[in-house]
Every structure is written in C-alpha cells, then in structure tokens.
C-alpha cells in the first residue's frame, strides 16, 4: 500500500505538467477576441510592413473588412504559444536523457511561471507573443517528459491508467482555464480582465515546481546512468509487476544493453519505421479532428452560433466539464478495454459530432444544436484520442529511443496544432460550416487507420513491446 502511495503521488505530481499544459493551451480562448481588438492597429502595421493585400484599382485598404485585414496576424499571435510547443517538443528530449526527467520537469515549471507573469504584464503584440512562446516551450516539453517519466516509473499493469493521469490533468487544466476565464469575466475588471486570465497560471506553476522536489527520479534513467543502487531504491518504492526488484532491474539492464547501439545510430532507420509511423499518424490524426480549433477559439465558435459574451464563456465551461468527465471514464477503462477499442469509439464519435456541427451551421439550427454537437465531439475526443495518444506514444519505442520517439510524436502533434490554430480564423471566415465537414472527413481516415494499422499495447511490459512490433 505504501508502494502504491509513492507511485500514485509521483505520477500525479509529474502529471501536473499536464494540468499547466491544458491551462496554458485553453486560457487564451477567453481573451483572444479582446486581444484582436487591443492589437488591431499593430496587426495593421505588421500587414503594412510585410506587404498590403492586393486590392482592386481605386479601393483603399480601409475598405477591407476588419477580419480580412487582421485574421492572419491574429492567428499568428494566438498560435505563438504553439510555435513554442513545436520547439519545446524536440528541445527537451536529449536534456532529459542527460540530466534526468525530474530535473527537466523543474525547468518546465520555471518556464510556465515566467510565461504566466510575462503574458499578464505584456506591453504589446510582440512582448505578448514572446511570453506565450515561452509558455509554449513548457507545454511542448511537458507533452514529452511528463508521460515519459510516468511510463518509466509504472508497472505494466498500471501504466495505462497512470500515464493517462497526464491526459486527465490536461483536461482538468482546460476546464480550470475556462472556469477561471468565466469567473474573471463576472468580476468586471475592465481593461485588466484579460491580464488576470493569464496571470493566475503563475500559482499552479509555482506549486508544480516545489512539489517536484518530493518525487523520485526515473529508475530506467538511473539504470542508464549506472546508478543501480538508486534505481533499486526507487523500484522498491514504486513497485514492479513481479514483485521482484532484482528481476525488474535485470530486465531493464538487458533492454538497455540490447539497445545500446541505438543511442549512437540514427533514429530515422528502416528498423524503427513502424513505431515512427505509428507515432506520427496518431499525432497527425489528433489535430485533424480540429480539437485545437475548438479549444483555442471556443468563445468565437459559440458566438458564431449566436451566443453572446459571458454566455459563450459559460458554454465553454460546459465543454471543459464534459472533457473532464469522459477523460475520467477513459482513465478507468483504458487498461481493461485497451487503447484500440477506445480509439474506435472516439473515431465514430468524432464523425457523428462533426457531422452534427456542420449541419447545424449549414441549416442555421442555432446555438443549442452546435453546443450539443460539440459536447459529443469533446466526449469522443476525451474517451478516445485524448486518453490514448500520450499513453500510446510513450509505449511503442524501445527504452533507448523513448525520449526521441516521444519527442517526434509530440513535435508532430504541435506542428499540426500550430497549423490548425493559425489557419482556423481564415478558414472559418472563408469556408464556414465546411470547415467542420472537412475535419469529419479526416476522422473517417482515422477510423480506417485504427481498424487496419494500429496495434494493441495493453498490458505489455515496455521491454517486450519492441518484440511485439518486430523492431530489430
């Protein structure tokens, strides 16, 4: 019981990186329309600096609709954090191998804090983008290191549920961001409202940093460093599948010895093609659902459907709560039903919900139908892709390649997230309801991939998964 307590505490603390990940990702949804108005003149200046749009003869730039003049630059500012996540997802993998997973998690805590305070005090478009970029570095790093750390301290029978705590915390962070935005909007803070929305993140960031001093290092990292006695002590504290620490230690050593050459050879080799393609495809499909468009532009989407101001923020809270409830459901069953069945259920839910949303916008059915469609959408995401992606990517690579493999999956995920989030304002303006139909079509592709390509990794020890995938 004591062992399980140490394991659970360590997993929860590491997963707080996911809570900050979710909060940082979603918090801008409550402020992005204010930022669009606040930085409108700066967007126009940027457009003039980099070139005006082509205009018909005799037509002035002032005649263009506001969104047409500013949507690109507004999308770029909103996506500045995502640019950071792309870099962060590949920046921290090797330092995590050199300095340890726990040490890098502490660095991420500091970056989250700096980003929160800096974004709240930003004095213009550029400074705001820089501090959001710093937060993005932390998000990208957390998406790699938090699940990797938890996977490496967890026995196989519990690994799915414990790694999925990261996803639970991500959606809890999203819900807290929506709830925080809504509460702040009710406080009538005027011009300071948006600053408080970003600034409150400093408190959980500081807590995350301090709590990390109470968790152990990854036993697999310790073995890789030759610190066997420390690794044995950690395994005694967090537990093993067989209950035999010496046996677990030998299995880890053998795996690392077998993979020793992998640390020196190129990552992109034919022998690793299968896990590489699996990681890339699950990450690509995750974002082709349009999930980040919903998270970043929740308020805007509901206002497109007819909701107003505070009402749109309240509906965002409903979306966040649904996300949390269905993530908890997935967390409870992921090690029972497995990763593949959850992905199948989620894929079907995506297709149905996106079809409903597209039809609601096309027919003018109103905000209630849009809300219902997005509730089903977020439920499908939480129960399927959202719960599975970080667990799956953390499992499919050999020990010696896990940091690079996790970084590849996360890098792909955030590249796609940046692309979707940066282009959504323009595509929503030009395509209208068709943008949701396009996301739904992409999810038909995911359903086929899950049915015919995705393997099941439920209950398989990390050291055996590479054999299951025929790596070598």
Tell me the CATH number at 411.
Answer: 1.20.1250.20
Determine the pLDDT at residue 300.
Answer: 75
Determine the pLDDT at residue 426.
Answer: 78
Residue 22, in any domain of the structure: yes
Determine the pLDDT at residue 239.
Answer: 81
Determine the pLDDT at residue 46.
Answer: 66
Residue 235, in any domain of the structure: no
d(CA 48, CA 136): 28
Determine the pLDDT at residue 55.
Answer: 44
Residue 229, in any domain of the structure: no
Please state the pTM of the whole predicted model: 0.76
Residue 236, in any domain of the structure: no
Determine the pLDDT at residue 204.
Answer: 94
Q: How far is CA 297 from the centre of its chain?
A: 16
Q: At what angle do helices 385-395 and 402-431 cross, to 10 degrees?
A: 150
d(CA 417, CA 83): 9
Residue 306, in any domain of the structure: yes
If one counts the domains in the chain, the total is: 1
Determine the pLDDT at residue 59.
Answer: 47
Taking 50 as the pLDDT cut, the residues of the chain under it are 1, 53-59, 61, 63-68
Contact in structure between 160 and 391 (CB atoms under 8 Å): yes
Give me the domain span that covers residue 357. 2-50+64-215+259-468
Residue 314, in any domain of the structure: yes
Strands (E), 371-411: none
Determine the pLDDT at residue 47.
Answer: 62
Phi, psi dihedral angles at 55 (to 5 degrees):
-120, 150
Q: Left (φ > 0), alpha (ψ -120 to 50) or beta: where does 456 sit?
A: beta
Residue 440, in any domain of the structure: yes
For the record, the structure tokens of 70 come out as: 């500013």
Residue 171, in any domain of the structure: yes
């Amino acid at each position: 019981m004591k062992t399980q307590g140490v394991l659970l505490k360590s997993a929860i603390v590491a997963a707080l990186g996911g809570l900050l990940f979710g909060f940082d990702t979603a918090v801008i949804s409550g402020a992005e329309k204010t930022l669009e108005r606040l930085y409108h003149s700066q967007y126009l200046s940027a457009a003039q600096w980099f070139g005006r749009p082509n205009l018909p003869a005799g037509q002035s730039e002032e005649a263009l609709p506001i969104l047409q003049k500013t949507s690109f630059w507004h999308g770029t500012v909103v996506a500045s954090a995502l640019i950071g996540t792309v870099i962060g997802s590949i920046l921290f993998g090797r330092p995590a191998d050199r300095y340890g997973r726990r040490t890098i998690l502490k660095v991420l805590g500091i970056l989250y804090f700096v980003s929160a305070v800096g974004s709240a005090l930003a004095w213009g478009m550029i400074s705001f983008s820089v501090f959001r970029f710093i937060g993005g570095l932390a998000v990208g790093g957390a998406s790699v290191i938090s699940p990797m750390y938890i996977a490496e301290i967890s026995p196989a029978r519990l690994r799915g549920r414990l790694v999925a705590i990261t996803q639970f915390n991500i959606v809890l962070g999203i819900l807290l961001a929506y709830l925080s935005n809504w509460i702040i909007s009710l406080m009538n803070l005027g011009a300071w409202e948006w600053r408080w929305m970003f600034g409150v993140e400093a408190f959980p960031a500081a807590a995350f940093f301090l709590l990390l001093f109470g968790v152990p290092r990854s036993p697999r990292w310790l073995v890789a460093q030759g610190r066997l006695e420390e690794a044995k002590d950690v395994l005694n504290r967090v537990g093993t599948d067989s209950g035999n620490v010496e046996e677990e230690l030998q299995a880890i050593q053998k795996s690392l010895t077998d993979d020793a050459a992998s640390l020196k050879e190129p990552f992109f080799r034919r022998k690793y093609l299968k896990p590489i393609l699996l990681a890339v495809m699950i990450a690509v499909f995750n974002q082709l659902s349009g999930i980040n468009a919903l998270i970043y532009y929740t308020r805007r989407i509901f206002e497109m459907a007819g909701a107003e101001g505070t009402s749109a923020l309240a509906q965002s809270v409903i979306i966040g709560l649904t996300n949390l409830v269905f993530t908890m459901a997935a967390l409870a069953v992921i090690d029972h039903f497995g990763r593949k069945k959850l992905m199948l259920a989620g894929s079907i839910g995506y297709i149905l919900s996106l079809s409903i949303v597209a039809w609601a916008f096309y027919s003018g059915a109103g905000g209630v139908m849009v809300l219902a469609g997005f509730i089903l959408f977020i439920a499908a995401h939480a129960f399927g892709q959202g719960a599975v992606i970080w667990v799956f990517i953390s499992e499919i690579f050999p020990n010696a390649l896990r940091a690079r493999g996790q970084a590849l999956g996360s890098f792909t995920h955030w590249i796609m997230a940046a692309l979707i989030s940066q282009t959504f304002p323009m595509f929503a303006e030009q395509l209208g309801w068709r943008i949701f139909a396009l996301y739904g079509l992409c999810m038909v592709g995911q359903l086929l991939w899950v049915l015919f390509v995705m393997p099941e990794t439920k209950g398989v020890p990390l050291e055996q998964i590479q054999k299951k995938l025929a790596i070598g």
